[in-house]
Each structure stands twice: as structure tokens, then as C-alpha cells.
Amino acid sequence: MRAFIIRRLVFMVFTVVIVSAIVFGMSRARGDPRYIFLDNNTTKEQWDAWGLEMGLDRPLVMQYFVWLGKAVRFDLGNSLWERRPVTDLIKTRLPNSLQLGGAAWLFAMVLAVPLGVLSAVRRWTLWDYFGRIIAMLGQALPPFWLGIMLILLFAVQFQWLPIGRKGGPDHLLLPAITLGWLAAAGILRLVRSAMLEVLDSEFVKLARAKGVTPWLIIWKHAFRNALLVPLTYSVLILSGFLAGTVVTETVFQWPGVGRLAVQAINTNDFPVMAGTVLFSTVLFVLANFALDVSYAFIDPRIRYR
Amino acid sequence: MRRTVKALILAATAMLVGAAIACGGEQVKPTTAPAPTTAPAVAPTAFIAPTTAPAPTAAPSPTAAPTSAPTAVPGPSGKLVVSLSAIGPANYELFELVWPWNDRNQFMGMYDTIFYDDRRPGAASLLNASVAKSWQFTDQGLVLTIRDDIPWHDTKYGKLTVDDILHSLERASKPGAKWTRAEALTTNFKVAEIKATGPNEITMPWNKRDLRWRSVPRDVTIQSKKMFDAVGAEQMNITPMGTGPYRVLEHRSGDIIRLEALDKHWRETAHVKSIDVLETPEETVRLAMLKTGQADIIQMGVPSIPAVKAISGAQMLIGPTTGLDGAQIVPAGQYYQDKKEDGSATGRTPLTQLPWVGKTPEDGLKVRRAMSMAIDRQALIDSVLGGLGQKHYLWNLGPGHPRWSVDLEKKFAIPYDPEAAKKLLTEAGYPNGFELNFFIPSGLSSTLEQVCQAMVPMFAKVGLKANVDQSQYSAVRPTMLARTIDKVWCWQESGWSVDPDVLYRFSTRAVWNPGIEYVEPLNLESRILTQSDPEESWKIITNEWLPWFQTKLPSFQTVAFTAPIAAGPRIKEWPMRVHSNRWPMEPQLIKLTGN
């Protein structure tokens, strides 16, 4: 197990370095970072001065290694747009993304897991059809459209909820539903299909034959064995939420990491671009690592050498 | 199974309750409308256009005694919520102010400038006192007499002094400063020799004086040297502290700016006590906020006018300069300037393979004229702009500019005549028309996109097949810097200011270029800028610059349009003052029909 963990850690670092190089290169390929300051009257002298200030006189490879060297010390440079440390900007936005992502994930789990189990247990009944419709809608409805429709219905027409922006629990409801529904659709399908497979297995039949209560069969025997795939998917979804969700944050004016990344792309703010993507990468890699390690605890049959 | 369902419901409820508890946060209550008959007139004093914010400035003339707020006027009260597509970064220090947010400091009434322009027709004077109560022009330089009664928002920094002005000019002109007037400052004044020549006097010696000198004291926002020395540049940049009618309580980037009016201001006390400026990128959501009363004022595009009209109680603020914009067609590739200002070769030649450049300049001109004649400007106004626009032919001189007139527009008008356009194309060697890459930048203005899209069938009518490219403006911008752009493109050009400081667009002088370089405008620009009398400059502009432009037609205007601002029913009146440094603001607040 120890060897496995060390191997995975090394692989993690390797992945992050490769991704950082790609991200750094792509952010520079997008254009000269001085565009952010450029207006129609900019003179050559100003242009050259900005280039010196940003270290653009050095070769690209050198610029990357300088950036990487600082990044390992959690110094992602300064935003060209905001003129403050990128880490500060991410730190400011992260709690907002955590709040929204966490709420959306909870919504997805609350909706998908019980409904997925019910759909599998009560196959071909009304519950099953209901669950599958929910899943289909979740996958078919684009989050952008769904968010605006929810706003028009619940915030404008009925005026039950606020339109958006960060605030109390009522501010969180619509964006969480918008973000969580698509994830819930996938989790629901995975839970349903995994449960169907497990419920058909021999050990479950044996448990039934022995007179074990349905509740225990479903939740102790079947669900635990069906958990692996949906859990993997849901954790990856969660890390995606935490890295920021552009569409939902834009529609609901939620000041999260996703909007920060989009703003950075629109303004060619390459330190923030590189910083937010690096942050997302690390998050995903850590989530994968945690998942891999957790498998050994969830399923004792899995042992790592 | 019943037990299973019951357990599921309990579990779900518990999780939801837990989530609700865990996700506590600040509650932002939407503003509620006061009773119409008892509420004081809410006269917003903060901005209208996305990047401009007029501050109420009834500044005295240079010789009048300083005004104080009229004693009969009650203090500021009430709250406004304004929703914009973007609020800009939280930068406030002159060295770091990024275009196009560099003017936000004074537009939002947070800071003051040395003086301001009053460009209203009939205004007593173009230049008006602000921080400087008077000034003198000498052959040696500009001498400013500064007021000594202007307190900083944070009283521990005392009052504004000449040291603050010297510091602000120094920061604005430091190499690498992002301030857009930095070059005008260093060209016009000997920055190193600007000094205090009295307890309340500053002398700014001339360098190579040109007509852009005015933009420097007009646009430089004064910042506290004491604060800079106390907290340093980085902290200064993120801690707005000025002398304007509004102080910034909070600026959360990408989210909100909170402003609070001073109870009494040396220039003019604001009417509205607090203003929340929200960043709301989606226009649909802004409209929803207006409808529910969660926003009192929203930024909108012309295509949203029908939606706003459907909102009960909605109003539109519209005037000749409200969000003024224009659609200009730029046939890029006309790189006719072979030498730069310093005499070195540009290394560029005109792209004569492009029909609108032409194998000969005359052929190219015929094609460009035909393109202009193919545009039915009235149809654009009627169908796309809902009547909110006008035909536009003058380059960079549009409605709202004090020198603009309908007669001037008519003088340089090009008629809509598709048959004549086809004839010109035939004469130029294109009897069957040709294909062209038509770049309509996305991400700039939804109105511009719609206007430009509407031109495609108009071009087709005369045989010009436009292959539309709707890339992001930022993606194509590098080709403008590199002077390699070779498309016909739709430029969002506001025809509101033919100020000398924007004249060198069609030359090698600026880093950015739309795809057109000619020697003649460069020469004209140099003469215009070096006239000491503005009237002489205007003679050159009207007698030489505009005629050259209309004769050579390197590019052409189509329509000018104003983007109205939508206001909710709480806005009773909007006594728009002269802006702190821009074009006249005399819009009207109109109730929409059917409300």
C-alpha cells in the first residue's frame, strides 16, 4: 500500500508539471499579455516598458521555469488585470465555489442516490420511469438554459427566490439545482445500473433466501457493492464543481473561480489563466488520488502492492 | 418498501437541512421601492453607460467664488442598485489603472480632476475649474492655482495639497504606467520640471505642446501622497480614497462596488446616499432584475428595447450621447505609409490583391465607395435599431459632439444606391462582384453585431458575398498590432470625439492600427496637434481632414446609435449634470408607452 501511495504521488507531480507546461504555453499562445493594457493610443515606448515589466524579454522556456519555480512556493505571480497576487484572487473566490459546488453536489447526491436505488429496486414501476425521466432531463437540458428558466419562473414570475448573487440559503437554491441536476442525472444512471447488476447477483439471492430484510439487502449488501462506480463519478464531479463552473456562475453572478478563469481568458490575464488551470489540475489529481486510496477501504478485495 | 421510502425521505430532509445550515451567508435583500408619493425624488447621480459615470459637477467658473452645497438641499438619501455587464478590476492607483477602466475613478464620483470640460452647446467655457480654481497659460507653461479646502475622504490625510497633484502626475507618467494619457503628459509637459511655485500653485512647463495637453489635467485623478507614503503602492491600488462626492465602501472584484455619498461635498452634494453597482454579465438576468425591482438601473443593448417596454413601470434614459456608438466599416489592407515618423521604412505595402485596396488606388476607391453605397442606412435604423439611430458619414465626429451638425453630415453623405454601386464595381473590374471576409467581432456589442449582420444581404444585393467571421475581437487583435489584418471588418467606432488625441489612429504612430495607414492623415494630424489655437485646428479638421477622409474613403461610417439605459419606476427624475470630463449629457428619462 505504501509503495502504491508513493507511486501515485510521483505520478501526480509528473501530471501537474506536464499540465502546467501545456497551460503556460497555451496561455502565451493566445497572445501577447500586454494586450490587457493596450488601448488605441498606446505608443511603442509604453509597449516596450510593459514588456520589460513582465519579463517578456526573456525566452519563453526561461519564463516558464521562473513561473514554475515560484508556483511550487505557492506564488502564482500577480494578476495583470487586478494587480494583486493570483493566489489571493483564488483564495477570495474559492469559498464561493466551495459553497456553490458543495451545495450542488449535495443536491445531486440527495436527488440521485435515493432515486437511483429506488429506480433499481422498483424496476419498471412508476418510480423507475420517474427516475429515468429526471435523468434524461438532467442530461438534455443545457445548464445555461435551465438556469435562466429557473430564474424567470421562480425569481421573476413567482418571486419566491432571489435572482442570483451570493447571499443566504435562498440565494443558493437555484444555482445549486442548475449545477447539480446534470451531475445528478449521471449519478442516478450509474447508481441504477450498478444496483441492478448487484441485485441480480448470487450473494443477494442467497441473502434473500436466508430471510434477510429488504432494507438490509438493499443498503448493506447491494448498495455497498454498487458504490464504487457512482462514487468515483461523484467525486470527480465534486472536484469539477470546486474548480469553478463557468456557466452557472455567470448566469447567477456567483463570484467563483470559474468566472475568474473566464475573465482571465477574456482579458488575456495569463498569470490568472495559468493559475486557475493549475489549481483545477491539482484539485483533480488530488481527487483521483484520494479516490484510488479510498477504494481499498470501500472494497476490501482491492489491495495495492 | 414503505419503510424504505420513509427512510429515504427522512434522510433527504436531513441532508437538505444540513446543507442549508452549512451554507449560511450574508443576505442581500433586494431594494424595496418606497411609496411613490412620499419618497423624495431619487435623482441618481452616478453613471449611465457601462464605462462612464457622470459625477454631478456644478463647478464654479475660474473667477467665481467657490460654491458650497445649497443650504436648502437635504442631504443624500436612499439607495440605488445598478446592474452592469462588468464593473472592472479593483485598481485605483494611477500607475495601474487599466484601459478602459482608467476613467472610472472620476466617472463614479470617487476622485476629482484638476479641471473638467463642459462641451454643452452654449457653455460659458470649455474648461471649468475643479481642483484647480484658476489657471494661466504662459509661453513657459501652465500655471494652476489649487483650492485649499478639499478634504480627503479619510480625514486622517487632511486636505488635498499641491504635493498630491505633483505625486499624481509623477505616478501617472512613470515608465510603464498604464494610464492612457501618459504619453500626452510626457509629450506636452516637462514632467521632471513640474513643481510647486507657491503654497497653492503649480507650474507645468511645456514640452512639445499640442492640443492634447488639455486631456492631462482633465483626466488625471488626484490621489493622496500621504496615503501613498503611508501604505505603499500595492495597498494604495486596492484602497480607493479620493475627494469626490462618493467614497468607495467596498469593491469585490467581479461582484460589486458599494458607494456612499458624503453628506456634504465641496463641489456638489449627491442626492442618493448609497449606490450598489453589481456585475451581471447576462443581459437576460439584468432585465429580470429590473422587472423584479432588484435593480433600479441596468445596462442594456438596443435589441432589448422590446423586452424593457414590456416591463411595467420601466423607463429608458436616452440622449444623443447615451452609450453612443457607431458601426464603421474598415476595409483593411490599405498600408500606404511606407515611412514611419522617424523616417525609417515600415516594410509594408498595400495589399493590392484585395478588391477594396485595388491594383490602382482609384479602383480601390471605387470599390470602397460602392460598398458604402450598398448600405441602406435607413433600413438599419428602422429594422435593427428600432428607430434609435441616425445615418452617419463623418469619421469620428458624431451626434453629441458640439461641432457636429446635421448639415455637416449631409455635406459628406453618400447616397444609398445599389445600382450605382454595381456600376462602380464594374468600372473597377468586378462586374460580378467578389467574395470578401467580413469580420464582425463578437464580445464587443450585441447591437454592433446585429447591425453588421444586417449589412450582409445588402452587400449581396450588389454582388458582394460576405463570408462572416465572428471571432472574438481579442483573437483578431494581434493582426491589427502586426498590421497584417486583411479583412473587411466592422469597427465599433463611437463618432463622438474628433479630439486631437484620437487622431493618430490611421498612422504608424500608435501600436494598434485598424488596417489602414496613409501619409496624408499623419501629416494632417501633426498640423492639427501643433496649432496653438483650437479654432485653427478645427479649420484644418473641417476644411482638410474631413474632406480628405470623405474623398479617399479609407473607411466609412454607416449608422450612429445610442444604447439607452433602462431604469425602474423608482427613478423619478435624472437631472444629469455635465460630466466631469466628457461630452455633454442631456438625456431624457422617458416613460415607455403602455406602462
**pLDDT, averaged across chain B:** 79
Cβ-defined contact of A152 to B288 (cutoff 8 Å): yes
Cβ-defined contact of A35 to B96 (cutoff 8 Å): no
* Contacts with A276 from chain B: Cβ below 8 Å: none
Compute CA distances A252 → A157, A182, B22, B115, whole Å: 17, 17, 20, 40
Cβ-defined contact of A156 to B288 (cutoff 8 Å): yes
How much is the pLDDT for A183?
A: 92
- Crossing angle of helices A2-29 and A270-298, rounded to 10°: 160
* Contacts with B481 from chain A: Cβ below 8 Å: 32, 38
Q: Which of A38, A162, A253 sits opposite B279 (nearest CB)?
A: A253
* Contacts with B474 from chain A: Cβ below 8 Å: 31, 35, 266, 268
**pLDDT, averaged across chain A:** 86
* Contacts with B292 from chain A: Cβ below 8 Å: 155-156, 159, 163
Which residues, 6 or more positions from B552, have their beta carbon under 8 angstroms from its beta carbon?
Answer: B365, B518, B520
Q: Which of A40, A50, A118 sits opposite B8 (nearest CB)?
A: A118
Q: Which of B26, B284, B504 sits opposite A167 (nearest CB)?
A: B26
Minimal Cα–Cα distance from B279 to chain A, Å?
A: 7
Q: Which of B5, B15, B22 sits opposite A110 (nearest CB)?
A: B15
Cβ atoms B171, B223 nearer than 8 A: yes
Report residue A143 as a C-alpha cell: 445548464
Minimal Cα–Cα distance from A5 to chain B, Å?
A: 32
Eight-class DSSP state of B464: E
Least confident of A40-54, A98-112, B221-235: A40-54
Return the residue in A36, A83, A170 with the most chain B beta carbons within 10 A, the one to mutate for interface testing: A83
Minimal Cα–Cα distance from B547 to chain A, Å?
A: 23
Eight-class DSSP state of B214: G
pLDDT above 70 covers what percent of chain B? 78
Cβ atoms B506, B512 nearer than 8 A: no
Backbone torsions φ then ψ of B249, nearest 5 degrees? -85, -35
pLDDT above 90 covers what percent of chain B? 40
* Contacts with A55 from chain B: Cβ below 8 Å: none
Q: Which of B12, B178, B292 sits opposite A155 (nearest CB)?
A: B292
Looking at the predicted structure, is the pLDDT value of residue B51 above 50?
Answer: no
Higher pLDDT, B39 or B91: B91
Least confident of A25-34, A55-64, B299-308: A25-34
Compute CA distances B374 → B330, B390, B456, whole Å: 15, 17, 10
How much is the pLDDT for B575?
A: 65
Report residue A275 as a C-alpha cell: 493559475
CA neighbor of B503 nearest in space, from B531, B517, B522: B522
How much is the pLDDT for B274?
A: 95
Minimum CA–CA partner of A89 in chain B: B253
Q: Which of A79, A148, A266 sits opposite B284 (nearest CB)?
A: A148
Cβ-defined contact of A162 to B502 (cutoff 8 Å): no
Give the whole-angstrom CA distance, residue B398 versus residue B322. 12
Minimal Cα–Cα distance from B138 to chain A, Å?
A: 28
Mean per-residue pLDDT, B172-181: 84
Cβ atoms A253, A239 nearer than 8 A: no
pTM metric for this prediction: 0.80
The confidence band for A227, taking pLDDT boundaries of 50, 70 and 90, is confident
Q: Which of A82, A121, A250 sits opposite B91 (nearest CB)?
A: A82
Looking at the predicted structure, is the pLDDT value of residue B130 above 50?
Answer: yes
Mean per-residue pLDDT, B212-233: 91
* Contacts with B3 from chain A: Cβ below 8 Å: 215
Give the whole-angstrom CA distance, residue B503 versus residue B499. 7
Report residue B372 as a C-alpha cell: 458604402
Looking at the predicted structure, is the pLDDT value of residue B462 above 60?
Answer: yes
Q: Which of B4, B28, B91 sits opposite A167 (nearest CB)?
A: B28
Minimal Cα–Cα distance from A265 to chain B, Å?
A: 10
How much is the pLDDT for A299?
A: 67
Per-residue pLDDT of B251-287, as tens digits, reads 988 899 999 999 999 888 888 999 999 999 888 999 9
Give the whole-angstrom CA distance, residue A272 versus residue A288. 24
Which residues, 6 or more positions from B235, have their beta carbon under 8 angstroms from its beta carbon?
Answer: none
Minimal Cα–Cα distance from B460 to chain A, Å?
A: 32
Least confident of A225-229, B38-42, B120-124: B38-42
Per-residue pLDDT of A241-277, as tens digits, reads 877 788 899 899 999 999 999 888 877 788 898 899 8
Regarding beta strands B272-279 and B297-299, do their DSSP bridges make them parallel or antiparallel, or are they unpaired?
A: unpaired
Query: How many CB atoms are located within 10 Å of the residue B195 CB?
Result: 12
Return the residue in A106, A253, A276 with the most chain B beta carbons within 10 A, the one to mutate for interface testing: A253
Cβ-defined contact of A83 to B96 (cutoff 8 Å): yes
Q: Using DSSP, how many helices (H) and how many strands (E) does chain A show?
A: 14, 0
Report residue B474 as a C-alpha cell: 481579442
Cβ-defined contact of A218 to B4 (cutoff 8 Å): yes
Cβ-defined contact of B253 to A82 (cutoff 8 Å): yes
Query: How many CB atoms are located within 10 Å of the residue B361 CB?
Result: 14
Cβ-defined contact of A49 to B22 (cutoff 8 Å): no
Cβ-defined contact of A168 to B24 (cutoff 8 Å): yes
Cβ atoms A272, A81 nearer than 8 A: yes
Cβ atoms B568, B315 nearer than 8 A: yes
Report the amino acid identity of residue B35: A
Longest dimension (CA), chain B: 96
| Whole-complex ipTM | 0.83
Cβ-defined contact of B3 to A215 (cutoff 8 Å): yes
Minimum CA–CA partner of A144 in chain B: B282
Cβ-defined contact of A107 to B5 (cutoff 8 Å): no
Q: Which of A110, A117, A155 sits opposite B16 (nearest CB)?
A: A110
Looking at the predicted structure, is the pLDDT value of residue B50 above 80?
Answer: no
